[in-house]
Each structure stands twice: as C-alpha cells, then as structure tokens.
Amino acid sequence: MCTVSCPVEVSPDGTWRACRAGFFLPVRVLRRRFLEELQRLHQAGRLRFFGELAALADARAFARWLVPLRQCEWVVYAKCPFAGPAAVLAYLSRYTHRVAISNSRLLSMDERSVSFRWKDCRARGSRRRKVMTLACTEFMRRFLLHVLPVGLHRIRHYGLLANGHRRASLAAVRKRLLQLVAVDPHEAPATRRPTFVCRHCGRPLVLVETLLRGTTIRAPPAAGAS
C-alpha cells in the first residue's frame, strides 16, 4: 500500500492552509488498522506461534499482548533517499502500476512449470541476472502474495484527495482557483494585480496566446493575440 500525503488543504471558509509541521502520515490511524488486521488474522486462526511465543495462540493472551501496542506511540522512521526522490518514485511505481512480474520477464511455460528471469541482488556483475523455473502451483502461490486482501487499497490518498471528501474538496479548490484568477474588466490596468508572476525576477508574465485543449500549434502566435 502506498500513501500520498498532501501538504496543503482548504479550510471550511475557503482559505488555503498548510498541514501541520512535520505531518507525513496519520500514524495513529495506521497503527489502529495494523493491530485490527492482526486481531482479525488471529481470530481466523491464520497466525502461528512457536517457542517462547506459543502462549500467544490463546485469544486472551494475544489480546493482553496487544494492549501496550495500542498505548505506546509509534515512530515512522524516514530519511532522504541516497539517489534522490526520482529513485523512490521509480521504486514505488513498480508496485503501484504493476503486479509482481512483468510479461517481459516470463521466458517459457508449460503444463508443469514456469521459467522467468529474476535479479539476485547479492550477486555482482553479469551473475545478477538469473533464470528460475518453478512448478505452476508454486509460481501462482508467489504471484498471489502480491495481491492485496479485500479492503486494502494499493494507493490511499490523504488531504485534498482523500476518498471520503475528495469530490467536495476538489470542487472547493476549483472554486478558489477561479476566484484567484478572476479579473474585473472595469478595473484599471495600472491597479490590476497580475495573475502570473515570474518566481525568479518577480515581474508579471505577459499572456501571449491561449491554446485550447486538443489544438495543434501550427504557427507563431499572432501579434496582439491574447
């Protein structure tokens, strides 16, 4: 599951406001959802405990074990990526828009097995690219590990794009943007505030021509066009 955090939001009175400092993810909500899922798996008998944790197989013992986890604060550790934000987006995109394995990695298959290419990160040089052959049942088992359970979303948005109020938020944003760019035709040009200002020199940008969506640029803009 990938989470997108929005740094700005619109208040009920229509004004812009920034999210609180240091906000990235609603940690308490994620903690609650994580513990609820653990509880559900335990009730369904899908958790196994061995050794010194064998006592947690009892429902009451497992419930007592979860109590301090609900009370303590969870810390989300995050740091700047070594290769920059582009490397993070490239990594996450393989999980948000693909499922487990791409068709180009599949080499062959028959009624008994499937062969595909994989990368051994522990190896170096040309030995990193290898070929693996698995039985069809084992291949499908590993493939289905990447399919999210019912109720979980691959991409979950927060802020303006949160599913619960996305339609109302976007409508408020569009209305606010129209108010910002609206220009009174009777206002004197000398007192009219420029809509677009260069962030480098601070001078107003001159609107030369407006291109409608779907039109093709065939010639330089006409003199005096706006």
Cα angle 122, 126, 129 (rounded to 5 degrees) comes to 65
Q: What is the pTM of this model?
A: 0.41
User: Under the phi-then-psi rule, with left for phi > 0, alpha for psi from -120 to 50, and beta for the rest, what region is 194?
Assistant: beta
Confidence of residue 184 (pLDDT cuts 50, 70, 90): low
CA–CA separation, 214 and 210 (whole Å)? 12
Kindly state whether residue 50 falls inside one of the protein's structural domains.
no
**pLDDT at residue 214 in the model:** 64
Kindly state whether residue 197 falls inside one of the protein's structural domains.
no
Higher model confidence: residue 108 or residue 74?
108
Kindly state whether residue 96 falls inside one of the protein's structural domains.
no
Among 81, 73, 118, smallest CA distance to 100 is for 118
Among 91, 141, 93, smallest CA distance to 114 is for 141
Kindly state whether residue 115 falls inside one of the protein's structural domains.
yes
Instruction: Please say if the pLDDT value at position 50 is more than 80.
Output: yes
CA torsion through residues 154, 140, 108, 131, sign: positive
Higher model confidence: residue 200 or residue 118?
118
Q: What is the pLDDT of residues 120-160, one digit of tens each?
A: 988 888 888 999 999 999 999 999 888 888 777 777 777 77
Judge contact between 169 and 157, C-beta under 8 A: no
Share of the chain above pLDDT 90, in %: 25
- Mean pLDDT, residues 60-69 taken together: 92
Confidence of residue 173 (pLDDT cuts 50, 70, 90): confident
Kindly state whether residue 83 falls inside one of the protein's structural domains.
no
Which of 19-33, 69-83, 150-164, 181-195 has the least mean pLDDT?
Answer: 181-195
Residue span of the structural domain in which 121 resides: 103-146
Kindly state whether residue 44 falls inside one of the protein's structural domains.
no
Name residues whose C-beta falls within 8 Å of residue 185's C-beta, 6 or more positions apart in sequence. none
Structure tokens at 65: 């074990």
The number of folded domains in the chain is 1
**pLDDT at residue 111 in the model:** 92
Instruction: Please say if the pLDDT value at position 1 is more than 50.
Output: no
Higher model confidence: residue 96 or residue 57?
57
Kindly state whether residue 131 falls inside one of the protein's structural domains.
yes
Confidence of residue 40 (pLDDT cuts 50, 70, 90): very high
Kindly state whether residue 45 falls inside one of the protein's structural domains.
no
Confidence of residue 2 (pLDDT cuts 50, 70, 90): very low
